[in-house]
Chain A
Amino acid sequence: MTPNVVAPPVSGPAGGILSGLRRLLTSESLVLWLALAYAATLAPFTPGFVSASNGQALLAYALPILTASLGLTLVLILGGMDLSVTAVISLASVVGGRIMSAEEGWMAGSPLAVPAGVAAMLLVGAGVGAVNGWVVTACRVPAFIATLATLMLFSGLALWMTQSRKIGGLPPGFVLLGQRLWMATAITAGVAALAQAALSRTLYGQWVRAIGYNPRAARISGVPVHRVTFATYVACGLFAAVSSILFTAALETGNPEMARDNLLDVVGAVVIGGTSLYGGRGRILGTVFGVLFLSLVDNSLNLLGLTFYNITMIKGGVILGAALMDALRNRLLAAA
């Protein structure tokens, strides 16, 4: 039996520093401070780090990752897992390319090509999300293995549809989205605001958290567990589809291997942002900070001329470090 007594606050000058440190470590914006501190430290040594063009490059890299991470955040708070986000990104990219491409698209040249392509990409996201949601709720398959299977299935499908080729010749109306950064920014900000509002201001958000904490108790308390779970996987698929739109527009090709190596960035950013894989605990803003931090790392190391493999190694280390810090901070919170 643990005593349900709160320890008296530590006082005195030494306690002041300690409690300050503790407050920083347990602060909700810790990751933001860390990201800013990182940027401030590296700025003097990194040529071209503080410049308008680099700011744009940073943003262009971060936006699609952020969009996908937001959907995953919802699923993780629900206590689920979705490994198939990168499969959605590549499959939607291929489907979009197949419809819109001027060279080989089914609607090549049609004025409706762009809206139809975008709609089809969103539909792919919702569809894969619905498959995940169905397998997880109706068939009660653990989310990890269900989405692992759909990851393999749908990324395999994307490769098969194109036989590994990239699809070029996307219509200018679509590619514009990649060239005008403010458009992508507006879309991502809108999507983030939507997720934030849904999570903190609606019944749905309360239900997602309750299911993440304890699905059995949630069901007995009248939460429509299956409906909410299904909807969350569909939402995650849609977010990934929006991410795919941003990726595809920026790279101006439909690519069956699009984002294949970004799973680490997506999952890692959410974890760095303090969302728990046990469910219940997590914040949209935390994920935004997490993506910011990872993007800063990626961007600065690239500018410093590090090779791809060194950057990958360091990113792995950053995620481990973040997880370590989170463990430490939970210990502090538990002791308080």
Chain B
Amino acid sequence: MIGFRNITKRFFGVPVLRDVSFAVPPGHTVGLVGENGAGKSTLMNILGGNLQPDAGSMLLDGRPYAPRTPRDAARSGVAFIHQELNLFPNLSIAENVFVAGFPRRARWLPLLDRRRIHDRTRELLAQVELSRPPETPVEHLSAGERQLVEIAKALALDARLILLDEPTTSLTDVEKALLFGIMARLRSRGLSMIYISHSLGHVLRLCDSVAVMRDGTLVAHQSAAALDTDRIVSWMVGREIRQLYPGRGDRTTGAVALEARGLSQSGTVSDISFELRRGEILGIAGLMGSGRSELARILFGLDPCAAGEIRLDGEPIHGLPPRERIRRGLAFLTEDRRAEGLCLEASIADNLSLVSWPRFATGPLGLLRRRDAGAAVTGMREAVRLTTSARDTQPVKTLSGGNQQKVVLGKWLLNRPGVLLLDEPTRGIDVGAKQEVYRLIADLARQGTAILMISSELEELTGLCDRILVMRRGRIRDAMAAQEFDRERILRAALHDETAA
């Protein structure tokens, strides 16, 4: 179907792809994995016509294929489904499906043929099992439904090769299952797919073969049947990661740091109560939309809460704005690093010191002690092991995802929080950076910080936490201590009525 031959690409003289060659046979799904920066995206940008290779060639159905623009790629039957969905919320489903090539009433008449667009969209929506009228605005759809619209878009192009780049990041498990079912059906119809994901379990389950990239080269391409996660990870990092999670070891828990009693807010959480102690890592499991992120936002004071009580170190903090809670030692790493965590255009130093500026300001005028702040920033860079190649004045947007996350973490740690709320702290970062973030979290707990950690990755929770609460539909459904951790039990509690329904 598609073949890559000796693809090479350099940016400013630095090679990012070196002699990459592999093929996707018709009707096959190939999983493409690698750490961030391994060259996956560059390769896919070349496939999609966004970039041109410096050397090497591609063959599509045995014919040379060299797209100059995304439009060329679409015309050749290569469709993309990006991690960030490429939909226009203000347009209807049908308009989104046909936005790149609206059919006209007649060749000489530039009017849209709405009936044809709607009829065809209805057909396509049936294929992806989405029962919504074609004229529904996309802004009314859930994340999972939008993903299905993306697939319908690819089908509308008569795509023969579909590329999916992390399509499941924002989907609930039910939506994931639906997506995987549709992918299996498309594969049986002879469609080829390239599936990029950090979730190796999904890759092994879905793909016929797995291609692993590291530092711009293809290190392996083998049939999925013969592979397991450990093997792939060792190829990805180039060494065996024996201990992804630091041991719980000698942690001891202290006094109650954060206490919630009967928190309820219509539509998001109901009757949430828990205690979090110093030196403890408390995990919160649950599907997307179970109310876990909403709980964190309520604890931090970003969202309103109709009933209940929150105490920080024994003091009630209900009704205080985030600013006051921060002053009292609360910190919140949100799930959306780019939109809520960082000032992407600002420097590393300015991002790191953002939360703690008030501590470096004196007098009623708020004069800054820049030298103190600078020293603290330097110390924090070392503490979170930020890449040493970046200058303090460099904009954060130039950093990799893992290093960006370290900046967000460092920003909060600089304020020496007593309670740290983490919402998906390792989302979209590579294995190496994940390991470092885990180590940091464990170290903080050892030093007495109370940590509340929300995650979609059960392995991460069971590997790191002292206790886990499971949420479903806004309530805590189950709670277990480290010795009781059982992934099946967690899943059952998280899924329960969704699977029954």
Contact = CB atoms under 8 A, between A and B. Distances in A.
Interface of A: 1-8, 201-204, 206-207, 209-210, 213-214, 216-224, 278, 280-281, 335
Contact of B345 (A3, A4, A218, A280): A280
B42 A1 contact: yes
Most buried by B among A1, A5, A7: A1
B201 to A, nearest CB: 23
18 contacts: A4-B398, A4-B399, A8-B12, A201-B367, A206-B354, A210-B346, A210-B354, A214-B346, A217-B340, A218-B343, A218-B354, A220-B334, A221-B354, A222-B326, A223-B323, A224-B323, A278-B345, A280-B343
B400 interface: yes
Chain B's interface size range is: 35 or more
Given A7-B14, A202-B361, A209 B346 contact: yes
Given A204-B366, A214-B344, A5 B12 contact: yes
A281 B367 contact: no
A281 to B, nearest CB: 7
B13 interface: yes
Interface in B339-396: 339-346, 350, 353-355, 357-358, 361, 365-368, 387, 389-390
B339 A203 contact: no
B41 interface: yes
B473 interface: no
Given A216-B339, A217-B339, A222-B322, 20 more contacts: A1-B37, A1-B40, A3-B14, A3-B16, A4-B37, A4-B387, A201-B367, A202-B365, A203-B368, A209-B346, A214-B342, A214-B344, A214-B346, A217-B340, A217-B342, A217-B343, A217-B354, A220-B341, A222-B327, A222-B355
A210 B350 contact: yes
A327 to B, nearest CB: 16
A180 B350 CA distance: 43
Contacts of B40: 1
B358 A203 contact: yes
Contacts of B340: 216-217, 220
B341 to A, nearest CB: 6
A203 B361 contact: yes
Nearest to B415: A222
A209 B367 CA distance: 15
Nearest to A207: B357
Contacts, number: 100
Contacts of B322: 219-220, 222
A7 B13 contact: yes
A202 B341 contact: no
Contact of B344 (A203, A213, A222): A213
Given A7-B12, A213-B343, A220-B302, A201 B368 contact: yes
B489 to A, nearest CB: 34
A224 B327 CA distance: 12
Contact of A221 (B14, B36, B41, B411): B411
B80 interface: no
Nearest to B302: A220
Contact of A217 (B323, B341, B399): B341
B368 A202 contact: yes
Contacts of A223: 323, 354
Interface string B311-343: 000000000001100110000101000011111
Top 8 A-B pairs, shortest CB-CB distance: A203-B366, A213-B343, A7-B12, A222-B326, A1-B41, A203-B361, A222-B323, A214-B343
Contacts of A2: 11, 398
Contact of B389 (A6, A206, A209): A6
Interface string B281-306: 00000000000000000001010000
B368 A206 contact: yes
A194 B387 CA distance: 37
